[in-house]
Amino acid sequence: MRQATTSLIEALDRCPQPTRVEALAVRHVRALAARTNPWTRDEPLHVTASALVLHPPTRRVLLRRHARLERWMQVGGHGDEGEADPLAVALREAAEETGLSELRPWPQDDGVYPVQITIVGVPANSAEPAHEHADIRYLFATDAPERAMAESPDAPIRWTDIDDALDVIDEENLREFLRRAMHKLDETGC
């Protein structure tokens, strides 16, 4: 279990916790990691990792239509067997879901750390009961936005201005993630 938690705990240690809700989410993830493998889907709360993919020069963000949830979201998902590093999980998932192989954590000038940690509810379906994801969220950048390709026809992707993305997204935790991305773009002069 230690291997499954070391990188996760390091990510939790590096993540800013500007709100009481995020501090509570971090405490829940730490408690989960102390008692079990936090990545296992057998737990009603388990860890996932995701990212907003940005093209900083144009201030655009890549959104993916989630077929099951029927909404536009960031890319990301569950760790595969043996994966324990949320950054690596987010990077693998982002590359798989966008076809972009040269993604990089962004910005890199102040180190790589999660931008947000949030707990989100996932409704039940025919394959699994309702559960929660403790999502560890990063920002990634690409220099080749034109190379983006959807993983499958039922999960289209689209580039959009970050302001327009805020109009499309109705989940407050994702809207906050977009606002943080916008703040980072402003800080870096993009």
Q: How far apart are CA 11 and CA 86, in angstroms?
A: 7
Number of domains forming the structure of the chain: 1
User: DSSP states of 151-170 as a string?
Assistant: SSTTS-EEEEEHHHHHHH--
Average pLDDT, integer, range 163-187: 94
Q: Could you give the 3-state DSSP secondary structure of residue 123? A: coil
R_g (Cα) of the chain, nearest Å? 16
Question: 133-153, pLDDT tens digit by residue?
Answer: 999 999 999 999 999 999 999
Q: How far apart are CA 27 and CA 23, in angstroms?
A: 6
Under DSSP, the state recorded for 114 is -
What residue numbers bound the domain in which 148 lies?
2-188
pLDDT band at 176 (very low <50, low <70, confident <90, very high): very high
CATH number at residue 62: 3.90.79.10
What pTM did the predictor assign? 0.93
Question: 59-100, pLDDT tens digit by residue?
Answer: 999 999 988 888 999 999 999 988 889 999 999 999 999 999
pLDDT at position 110 over 60: yes
Q: Could you give the 3-state DSSP secondary structure of residue 89? A: helix
Partners of 139 in the β-ladder: 52
Single-letter residue type at 108: Q
